[in-house]
């Protein structure tokens, strides 16, 4: 295994399948479970790196597809890699960009060799093989990089999803062979939609790749779980996750991709997931909505126009400590940029702090009671 990346399982909650762990990287340890803010274009929208640090964000994401198109991986490499380019001293994860490419299905051509696609910026044609994708992510220099995979939509026919599972496993093999930087670790991605047999097939194929790669000189550092949160009901996601999560290795991180609903985070941790990411907290902030102990608050609502109370009386984030609901609504209605900043600070703090509470509950073998309390709370009714 890679000396720079070690996952230590510190405790297993005795009331659920939750895990408390630590994942070492060249830019610091990641305490799990945790939520990772999304910085698609090498920035978490509306926030500085210093503000993210003050929120105790442990790791942020950037997106290979968008950064490849602009400003270009070569420029970022010349700048010293993503960490220097965006002034972030802590761990970074880059998504391969596969989800973004496949969400633009009308502009791509897909085959076993790779994917051809048009730029959303200028319409130019591009071609990526798994090897090309690894080259780009090696240039970007994130600590954790993701394989190029095929993410099927929901709903999709069994035969279509099976092809995506087979192709993704083959691409995982090629990505692992092409990946060259020992200071980066590669995560494989499990696909299979809501088909239990295909999820299990995907895991088996990836484990076969992992166990036979170059006499174990190179292994996957962890496993992403993709293809959820693409339109399926939450209950079906939990049911599907529960049937496959234990098939993944216990000695490596499990990363549920694109999930950021508070209830989903808590319940997925209870099933054994370690890492999460989603644009939800910052996107809803830009729309004028805030997570809170009362549920989701739409601050455009007229009832907040003269409300001088804090955004959330139970929150100690900088926004709640300094600004009223009336002021925040005024910023939103005036289309002031500061509204996005203050609400993003709050929403990210909310999720990061929620995961801190979940981690503590799991460490003390009381996560089941925590979940029951959450399910009965006012906040849970909106999530």
* Catalytic hit among 95, 143, 149, 274: 95
Whether residue 126 is preceded by a cis peptide bond, meaning omega within 30 degrees of 0, is: no
Catalytic status, residue 274: no
Angstrom distance (rounded) from CA 110 to CA 95? 19
Catalytic status, residue 277: yes
* Catalytic hit among 13, 210, 274, 277: 277
DSSP 220-274: -SEEEE-S-SSS--HHHHHHHHHHHGGGS-TTS-EEETT---HHHHHHHHHHT--
Nearest of 83, 213, 197, 195 to residue 147 by alpha carbon: 213
Q: How far is CA 273 from CA 141, 163, 286, in A?
A: 25, 26, 28
Q: Alpha carbon 192 to chain centroid distance?
A: 18
Instruction: Please check whether residue 47 is in contact with residue 111, taking contact to mean a CB–CB distance below 8 angstroms.
Output: no
Whether residue 155 is preceded by a cis peptide bond, meaning omega within 30 degrees of 0, is: yes
Active site residues per annotation? 95, 277
């Amino acid at each position: 295994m890679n000396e720079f990346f070690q996952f230590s399982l510190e405790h297993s909650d005795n009331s659920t399948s939750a895990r408390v762990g630590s994942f070492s990287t060249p830019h610091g340890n990641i305490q799990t479970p945790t939520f990772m803010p999304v910085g698609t274009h090498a920035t978490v929208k509306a926030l500085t790196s210093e503000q993210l640090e003050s929120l105790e964000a442990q790791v942020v994401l950037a997106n290979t597809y968008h950064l490849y198109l602009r400003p270009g991986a070569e420029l970022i490499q010349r700048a010293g890699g993503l960490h220097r380019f965006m002034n972030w001293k802590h761990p970074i994860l880059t998504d391969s960009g596969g989800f973004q490419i496949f969400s633009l299905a009308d502009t791509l051509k897909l085959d076993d060799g790779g994917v051809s696609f048009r730029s959303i910026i200028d319409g130019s044609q591009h071609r990526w093989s798994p090897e090309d994708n690894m080259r780009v992510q090696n240039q970007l220099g994130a600590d954790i990089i993701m394989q190029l995979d095929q993410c099927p939509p929901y709903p999709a026919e069994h035969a279509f999803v099976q092809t995506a599972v087979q192709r993704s496993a083959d691409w995982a093999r090629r990505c692992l062979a092409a990946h060259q930087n020992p200071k980066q670790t590669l995560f494989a991605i499990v696909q299979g939609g809501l088909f239990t047999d295909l999820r299990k097939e995907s895991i088996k194929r990836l484990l076969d790749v992992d166990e036979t790669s170059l006499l174990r000189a190179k292994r996957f550092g962890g496993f992403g779980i993709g293809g959820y949160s693409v339109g399926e009901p939450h209950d079906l996601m939990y049911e599907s996750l529960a049937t496959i999560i234990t098939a993944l290795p216990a000695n490596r991180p499990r990363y549920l991709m694109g999930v950021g609903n508070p209830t989903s985070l808590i319940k997925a941790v209870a099933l054994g997931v370690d890492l999460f990411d989603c644009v939800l907290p910052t996107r809803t902030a830009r729309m004028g909505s805030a997570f809170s102990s009362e549920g989701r608050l739409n601050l455009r609502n007229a009832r907040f126009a003269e409300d001088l109370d804090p955004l959330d009386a139970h929150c100690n984030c900088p926004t709640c400590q300094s600004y009223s609901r009336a002021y925040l609504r005024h910023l939103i209605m005036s289309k002031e940029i500061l509204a996005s900043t203050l609400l993003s600070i709050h929403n990210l703090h909310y999720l990061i702090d929620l995961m801190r509470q979940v981690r503590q509950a799991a460490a003390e073998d009381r996560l089941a009671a925590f979940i029951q309390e959450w399910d009965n709370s006012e906040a849970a009714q909106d999530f």
